[in-house]
């Protein structure tokens, strides 16, 4: 949905950032800012700062930053239009109605009808569980030690022995058999007519990120019951198993910094009941790249709580590969001596489970430990083959430092000489075309100095922060500096807007962040208003610092356009003007007053 810039700005201005963020986390006033521990990463010392004057926030720990709109997007894990709607509701601003084409209207109307059917079916199952018909299902859930609050939170229900009741209920609400079939709740054939998909099962509504029911899972209550242990809705127009996760609608707001991936619905529910609300599960299928992409929107730290049996280990190894391909790290929670999180928590308690989370095993070391099972380490040949397989796996690391760290860890764990293992990895890489480990370690741990590009970016950030803090300076330097002197695209965009706003007498950093749609660009833009200026004792030192930064930015601009004179026809004029400005600046004193 597109909203005019004027409307977005009206909504932003009517939602004071301190008031809105205070509704989510506790802020404490510190000087001119408000601070708290960052809600987007774990920390003990507050590094999250909110500035009321500028209407922006910045975490100096993880780098997150933005305005009130970006905060709501990040905290609520929602899209830009959804955040605008949330803030519009808070401010009492009426948003324009969405305008669809006729074809889009039909699609949206049909989609809404399918979601309505699922919602009605979930209500029907919910009521059935709490009726005399649901006695056996209630006893089953009692046996699984689920509280009434948990059952209500997850909308658990019961599908009666006779399927006709659901059909009759949905038909009474005006839904046709074809729609009931299309949403996955029934089947239609010539011989039997319309029959329901679920009967005599405990029902688990499956919800999307916005808490809308998109499908169902049904579980039998005893070994004597017929059919598969779990039965899930088929894929439909609104239910894609490969791109949704059970419990993700709650887990995305858990604020734990990680997601725990389980195998079954009951594991997720049991973990949420114990306070581990970051737990999710795949939907009756193996973990998929689409589900990994969904998790990555919220965290890169994934803990696997799969069953400890052979099938669970196999599934964990497959999930580790998928997570790695998606650019995420996986850690394995040890369930021993129990099979799954449900059994573990019931027998050992949530404190013990938290301890297992805290000591979760590194995914690569878990892979090596599982690989070890395939070899007889008492036999020299078996041990050699095991070491060769380890070397092959170590070649998979593309980063030299990361590979070296793992060589050290594996060498210590399996009592292999470090240099011997390292040479084996190098030789293996040479044979297979994999990455080779550098033969020589660096002699010292001294880090290289910042690159010229990093120094240039820092100077440009500092100059924009100076102008934000002291807008009166712009009038004194505008003859020397222009947006063209900011050689990084985001910085140039901000400078163009900032200088125009100052000329108009309406500098507003928070509104500038709305120019960017990507989260990383919004954080980068925020850093231009929050870079820490040097703490200097007097005006003379501050003026010298500002002058040095101004010269640095102008010199970088001169060098940048000098290097482009062969490809940019306007570069020559910029070089000539830049050289003249540099000469004038070197002789000019600029007062901060």
What's the pLDDT score for residue 572?
A: 65
Pairing of strands 301-304, 329-332: parallel
* DSSP-derived 3-state class of residue 347: helix
For residue 184 the two structure tokens come to: 């996955």
Distance from C-alpha of 146 to C-alpha of 152, rounded to nearest angstrom: 10
For residue 392 the two structure tokens come to: 């092959």
For residue 41 the two structure tokens come to: 């990463």
Distance from C-alpha of 209 to C-alpha of 243, rounded to nearest angstrom: 11
pLDDT digits (tens, 9 = 90+) for 21-57: 988 888 889 888 899 888 887 777 888 999 998 899 9
Domains contained in the chain, CATH given: 5-91 (3.90.580.10), 102-239 (3.90.980.10), 243-368 (3.40.1360.10), 374-432 (no CATH), 452-587 (1.10.860)
Dihedral pair phi/psi, residue 570, rounded to 5°: -90, -5
Tokens 């960017």 sit on residue = 516
Burial bucket for residue 53 (CB in 10 Å: 0-12, 13-18, 19+): exposed
Judge whether 249 and 272 are in contact, CB under 8 Å.
Answer: no
For residue 181 the two structure tokens come to: 């079939």
For residue 335 the two structure tokens come to: 């369930």
What's the pLDDT score for residue 530?
A: 80
What's the pLDDT score for residue 527?
A: 84
Distance from C-alpha of 114 to C-alpha of 178, rounded to nearest angstrom: 11
Instruction: Compute CA distances 318 → 48, 315, 364, whole Å.
Output: 37, 5, 12
What's the pLDDT score for residue 306?
A: 93
CA dihedral defined by 207, 212, 215, 217, rounded to 10 degrees?
A: 40
What's the pLDDT score for residue 287?
A: 92
What's the pLDDT score for residue 98?
A: 61
Distance from C-alpha of 85 to C-alpha of 58, rounded to nearest angstrom: 23
- The residue ranges of the chain whose pLDDT is under 50 are 436-449
What's the pLDDT score for residue 590?
A: 76
Judge whether 382 and 375 are in contact, CB under 8 Å.
Answer: yes
- Based on its alpha-carbon atoms, the radius of gyration of the chain, rounded to whole angstroms, reads 30
Which is nearest to 579 in space by CA: 544, 551, 545?
551
SS3 letters across 235-298: CECCECHHHCCECHHHHCCCCCCCEEEECCHHHHHHHHHCCCCCEEECCCCCCCHHHHHHHHCC
What's the pLDDT score for residue 566?
A: 58
Distance from C-alpha of 566 to C-alpha of 393, rounded to nearest angstrom: 47
How many CA atoms does the CB half-sphere of 187 hold within 13 Å?
Answer: 9
Which is nearest to 476 in space by CA: 560, 577, 547, 412?
547
Distance from C-alpha of 34 to C-alpha of 538, rounded to nearest angstrom: 26
Beta bridge partners of 218: 203, 231
Instruction: Compute CA distances 197 → 92, 213, 218, 342, 550, whole Å.
Output: 44, 16, 10, 27, 71
Which is nearest to 335 in space by CA: 305, 302, 372?
305
590 contact partners, CB below 8 Å, separation of at least 6: 473, 476, 477, 543, 546, 547, 550
Tally Cβ neighbours within 10 Å of residue 271: 26
Q: How many residues does the chain have?
A: 593
SS3 letters across 164-191: HHHHHHHHHCCCCHHHHHHCCCEEEECC
Name the strands in the sheet holding 201-207, side by side, starting at the edge strand that comes first in the sequence.
157-159, 201-207, 213-219, 230-232
Instruction: Compute CA distances 559 → 460, 483, 562, 570, whole Å.
Output: 14, 16, 5, 14
Distance from C-alpha of 564 to C-alpha of 555, rounded to nearest angstrom: 14
State the DSSP H helix or E strand holding residue 215, giving kind and residue range, or none if neither: strand 213-219
Query: Number of helices (H) and strands (E), helices first, in the chain?
Result: 26, 16
């Amino acid at each position: 949905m597109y909203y005019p810039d004027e409307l977005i700005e009206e909504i932003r201005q009517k939602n004071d950032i301190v008031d809105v963020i205070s509704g989510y986390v506790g802020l404490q006033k510190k000087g001119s800012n408000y601070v708290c521990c960052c809600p987007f990463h774990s920390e003990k010392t507050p590094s999250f700062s909110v500035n009321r004057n500028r209407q922006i926030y910045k975490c100096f720990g993880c780098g997150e930053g933005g305005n009130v709109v970006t905060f709501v997007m990040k905290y609520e894990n929602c899209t830009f239009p959804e955040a605008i709607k949330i803030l519009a509701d808070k401010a009492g601003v009426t948003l324009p109605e969405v305008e669809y084409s006729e074809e889009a209207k039909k699609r949206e109307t049909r989609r809404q009808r399918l979601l309505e059917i699922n919602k009605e079916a979930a209500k029907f199952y919910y009521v059935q569980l709490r009726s005399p018909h649901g006695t056996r299902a209630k006893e089953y859930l009692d046996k699984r030690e689920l509280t009434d609050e948990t059952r209500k939170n997850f909308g658990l229900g019961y599908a009666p022995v006779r399927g006709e009741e659901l059909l009759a209920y949905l038909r009474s609400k005006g839904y046709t058999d074809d729609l009931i079939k299309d949403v996955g709740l029934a089947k239609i054939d010539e011989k039997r007519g319309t029959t329901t998909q679920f009967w005599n099962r405990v029902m688990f509504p499956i919800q999307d990120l916005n808490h809308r029911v998109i499908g169902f899972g049904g579980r039998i209550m005893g070994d004597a019951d017929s059919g598969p242990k779990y039965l899930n809705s088929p894929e439909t127009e609104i239910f894609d198993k490969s791109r949704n996760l059970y419990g993700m609608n709650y887990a995305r707001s858990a604020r734990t910094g990680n997601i725990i991936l389980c195998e079954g619905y009951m594991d997720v529910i049991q973990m949420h009941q114990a306070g581990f609300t970051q737990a999710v599960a795949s939907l009756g299928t193996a973990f998929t790249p689409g589900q990994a992409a969904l998790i990555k929107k919220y965290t890169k730290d994934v803990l696997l709580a799969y069953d400890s049996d052979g099938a669970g280990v196999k599934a964990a190894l497959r999930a580790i590969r998928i997570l790695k391909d998606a650019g995420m790290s996986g850690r394995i929670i040890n369930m021993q001596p129990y099979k799954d999180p449900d059994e573990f928590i019931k027998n050992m308690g949530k404190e013990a489970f938290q301890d297992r989370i805290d000591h979760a095993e590194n995914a690569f070391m878990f892979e090596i430990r599982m690989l070890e099972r395939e070899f007889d380490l008492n036999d020299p040949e078996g041990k050699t083959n095991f070491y060769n397989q380890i070397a092959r796996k170590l070649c998979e690391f593309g980063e030299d430092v990361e590979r070296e760290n793992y060589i050290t860890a594996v060498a210590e764990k399996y009592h292999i000489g470090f240099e011997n293992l390292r040479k084996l990895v190098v030789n293996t890489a040479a044979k297979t075309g994999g990455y080779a480990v550098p033969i020589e370690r660096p002699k010292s741990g001294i880090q290289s100095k910042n690159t010229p590009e990093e120094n240039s970016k820092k100077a440009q950030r500092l100059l924009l922060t100076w102008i934000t803090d002291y807008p009166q300076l712009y009038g004194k330097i505008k003859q020397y500096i222009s947006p063209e002197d900011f050689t990084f695209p985001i910085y140039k965009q901000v400078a163009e807007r900032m200088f125009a706003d100052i000329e108009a007498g309406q500098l507003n950093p928070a509104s500038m962040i709305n120019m960017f749609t990507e989260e990383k660009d919004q954080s980068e833009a925020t850093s231009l208003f929050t870079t820490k200026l040097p703490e200097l004792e007097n005006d003379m030192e501050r003026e010298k610092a500002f002058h040095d930064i101004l010269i640095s930015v102008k010199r970088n601009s001169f060098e940048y356009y000098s290097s482009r004179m062969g490809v940019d026809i306007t570069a020559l004029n910029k070089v000539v003007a830049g050289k003249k400005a540099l000469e004038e600046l070197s002789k000019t004193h600029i007062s901060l007053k």
